[in-house]
Amino acid sequence: MIAAMLNAPTVLQRCEDLARCTEEPGRITRRFATPALARARQLVAGWMRQAGLEPRLDAIGNLIGRREGSGPTLLLGSHLDTVRDGGRYDGALGVIVALAVAERVGQRDLPFALEIAAFADEEGARFGTAFLGSALLAGRVSARWLEHRDREGVRLADALDAWGGDSSALDAPPRRDLLGYLEVHIEQGPVLVEANMPVGVVDSIAGQMRAFVTFTGTAAHAGTTPMGSRRDALAAAAEWIGAVERVGRETAGLVATVGDVEVAPGAANVVPGSAVVSLDVRHADDGARNAAVQTLHALATAAAAARGVEIVWAQAHATASVPCDPRLTAQLAECARMVTGVEVPRVCSGAGHDAVMLGEVAPVGMLFVRCAGGISHHPAEAVTEEDVAVAIEVTASLVEELALERV
């Protein structure tokens, strides 16, 4: 039995404990700047102290635990926020595995400081701002994001300040002291299940774009307004949503998703006056993604014009495709081979990760853990103790190897 088998049950139990920190009873929902996320952070801060790390909060609400060491800083971590009605492991697993790794490497002197980050917002589930937490470390927080509003109309800056963050201190310089960033994450897809492998190494992370498209027509009486004289915002949006799916299906390697629609006034007997529609577009090739986004923009304009409806296209977020660091990736792959006895798969991640932002300031390496059925962003997310033990072992071996290289 590998030594990490001792830590894996604790990792799973801690993910279970975090799942109880939720905005919605009976579901796992832990979005940015909510009391549920603060409770999760508090649990993790206690575990950081147990692992010999000194926790601190930064201006955006990231929790960062540090163990001093000579030289630069090796950063491990992932995020603590979730999508609405999400799973136990997306993000949380990476934070808790990082703590297990810190415990494995013990209190001995390392030729670098060790930090574990529990990022406050990777999903963008409340304000549409993916990677907000890790963006702070990369010096990439945009003042524009502070004006984003959630569904209840609360401004991001106001939510952050009321939550104990500091919206006036988000222009901190990028971290330049990082030796590297390592992130363990569930795969959120089927490659490892199909290959029957516990872990895989990430080669690159696909670029992505998110936008909110507002279709504005005229609200009118559903019984008295003739079909020919309507400006039905939802009918225009619906035509376009079909086109989004079609373009996604017809373009190799592209995924295009409408995940949220907000209709107003929202009554059975009123022609919809407005529809705000989310759009998420991803591709490993940035040129192909940009071309698809242009096509979708033109199709939205056409669907709206056919009904006398207007559109406003507001891009919330865009990141280019990010390669993981070739050297760290090769080292991770070698550690994984040593632990499992076989070559593990290389994967391009369709999901976004905090490593996207950290890639701007440090070499990044990512290890994926098999998740049951490849299911994620869903309460049925599941991992096994055995696979988690492998992930701890592989990551701890890499940390030890990085330490050896520097002595």
Binding site residues, ligand GLV, CB under 6 A: 123, 351-352
**Minimum CB separation from Mn ion for residue 190, in Å?**
16
**Minimum CB separation from Mn ion for residue 124, in Å?**
9
Q: Smaller CB distance to ligand GLV: residue 311 or 355?
A: 355
Identify what 103 binds: Mn ion, ligand GLV, none; CB under 5 to 8 Å per kind.
Answer: none
**Minimum CB separation from ligand GLV for residue 123, in Å?**
5
Q: Smaller CB distance to ligand GLV: residue 113 or 347?
A: 347
Q: Smaller CB distance to ligand GLV: residue 123 or 387?
A: 123
Q: Smaller CB distance to ligand GLV: residue 120 or 311?
A: 120
**Minimum CB separation from ligand GLV for residue 304, in Å?**
27
φ/ψ bin of 91: left (φ > 0), alpha (ψ from -120 to 50), beta (otherwise): left
CA distance readout (Å), 277 to 199, 240, 310, 370:
36, 10, 13, 32
**Minimum CB separation from ligand GLV for residue 78, in Å?**
11
Q: Which residues pair with 282 in a beta bridge?
A: 208, 255
Give the side-chain half-sphere CA count within 13 A for 136: 24
Interactions with Mn ion, residue window 89-118 (CB under 5 A): 90-91
Instruction: Enumerate residues 6+ apart whose C-beta is below 8 A from 91.
Output: 78, 79, 80, 81, 82, 119, 122, 123, 185
**Minimum CB separation from ligand GLV for residue 50, in Å?**
28
Quick one: three-class SS letters along 190-205?
A: CHHHHHCCCEEEEEEE
Query: 151 by DSSP, 3-state: which?
Result: coil
CA 191 to CA 197: how far, in whole Å?
9
Site string for Mn ion, 72-91 (x = CB under 5 A): ------------------xx
Does 200 contact Mn ion by CB under 5 A? no
CA 304 to CA 190: how far, in whole Å?
37
The count of residues in the chain is 407
Q: Smaller CB distance to Mn ion: residue 79 or 289?
A: 79
Q: Cite the DSSP H helix spans in 218-345.
A: 233-250, 286-305, 326-340
**Minimum CB separation from ligand GLV for residue 103, in Å?**
27
CB of 363 closer than 8 Å to CB of 327:
yes
**Minimum CB separation from ligand GLV for residue 1, in Å?**
32
Residue 336, token pair as written in the block:
């994984």
Residue 73: CB atoms within 10 Å? 20
Identify what 183 binds: Mn ion, ligand GLV, none; CB under 5 to 8 Å per kind.
Answer: none
**Hunting for tokens 């996604």 — which residue is that?**
248
Identify what 206 binds: ligand GLV, Mn ion, none; CB under 5 to 8 Å per kind.
Answer: none
Identify what 352 binds: Mn ion, ligand GLV, none; CB under 5 to 8 Å per kind.
Answer: ligand GLV
Q: Give the end-to-end CA distance of the chain in Å, rounded to a whole number.
A: 30
Identify what 381 binds: Mn ion, ligand GLV, none; CB under 5 to 8 Å per kind.
Answer: none
Identify what 354 binds: ligand GLV, Mn ion, none; CB under 5 to 8 Å per kind.
Answer: none
Q: Smaller CB distance to Mn ion: residue 86 or 272?
A: 86
Q: Smaller CB distance to ligand GLV: residue 208 or 216?
A: 208
Q: Smaller CB distance to ligand GLV: residue 188 or 331?
A: 188
What does the binding site for Mn ion look like in residue numbers (CB under 5 A)? 90-91
